[in-house]
Amino acid sequence: MSLLNIQNVLLKAEKPLFWVGAFTMASLVLWLIYKLLSGFRIWVLGNEQLINPKVGKWAVVTGATDGIGKSYAEELARRGFAIVLISRSQDKLVDVATALEEQFKVETQTIAVDFGRTDIYHKIEAGLAGLEIGVLVNNVGVCYPYPEYYNHIADLDSFITNMMNVNIASVCHMTRLVLPRMIERSKGVILNMSSASGMYPVPLLTLYSATKAFVDFFSRGLQEEYRDRGIIIQSVLPFFVATKMAGIRKPTMDKPTPGRYVAAQLATVGLQSQTNGYFPHAVMGWVSTSLIPSSVATVLAAKLNRLQRTRYLNKMIARAQQADGLKTE
């Protein structure tokens, strides 16, 4: 093909290519504007007024005596909800219930059960009978004591059963108990605490990661089922929060206190069916799922957890050696 012919072809293609480029740029600009406006709506304006006793007098919180669960109970009580606290320790439940009644002047009820068991739901059902439940926070959960290879986990059979019961069965059963009455009233909010660890596989926390992925899928599926029935079901996927379970004592910008996290998360209800709940976590979630391939994120998580495992085991060895030294003196 001669140079003249090539020039003619390029001249003919110039105008279509210009419009293709213009359309692409316009689409990108519109997409960016939409994302910025959506982000402003979620993270600046929020939906602060949605969660109030108009959706139902009572809020039910599982795992309510520590960390994020306790902060949910406090924030919902501050908003005027009567609170049902469900956790394992009756003493801790009484302490939290007393504090809520004194500080926020709300009614409380407590139900002491071990979510590691499956024969507890008749007791919970009896405790919830007759209550107008507007909000359910499925917060109870267990994690690994430290990152570990699956076949090296101590008492693996019991570990599997406990984690499946606490992290998965509790969400399914608690939802089963409250959802029918929410549907009858065409209003209600269910917040299911997943984890950023459920956004992609996290080796050495593999079972935990998988259970939290289940919670995320379960929540999003149910939201689509009941979207037109007036029910909000939200999957909540936090990164690290400064709690005892996470082993973080000092809060930072990306590791907020439970209270700060909960206040931010509740403002996203009704705006996102799947949320990281807190703006810095949302940025981290976008980077780790949109900019970094899942396979790369999994490899990086594995390297980090192997380092944490080594540090933990070395610490345990040093403590054992120190204890042996004290015994021989």
| DSSP at 153 | S
Question: Alpha-carbon distance 276 to 264, whole Å?
Answer: 10
Residue 208 to residues 85, 125, 143, 196, 200, Cα–Cα distance (Å)? 24, 27, 6, 11, 11
Cα angle 164, 166, 171 (rounded to 5 degrees) comes to 95
Active-site residue (options: 72, 200, 208, 278): 208
Question: Alpha-carbon distance 232 to 187, whole Å?
Answer: 8
The string of DSSP letters for 87-119 reads: ES-HHHHHHHHHHHHHHH---EEEEE--TT-SS
Residue 201 to residues 105, 207, 208, 218, 301, Cα–Cα distance (Å)? 43, 9, 10, 17, 8
Catalytic site residue 208? yes
Question: Alpha-carbon distance 292 to 300, whole Å?
Answer: 10
C-beta of residue 100 within 8 angstroms of C-beta of residue 80: no
Compute, in degrees rounded to 10, the torsion defined by CA atoms 105, 106, 112, 115. Answer: -120
Q: Catalytic positions, please?
A: 208
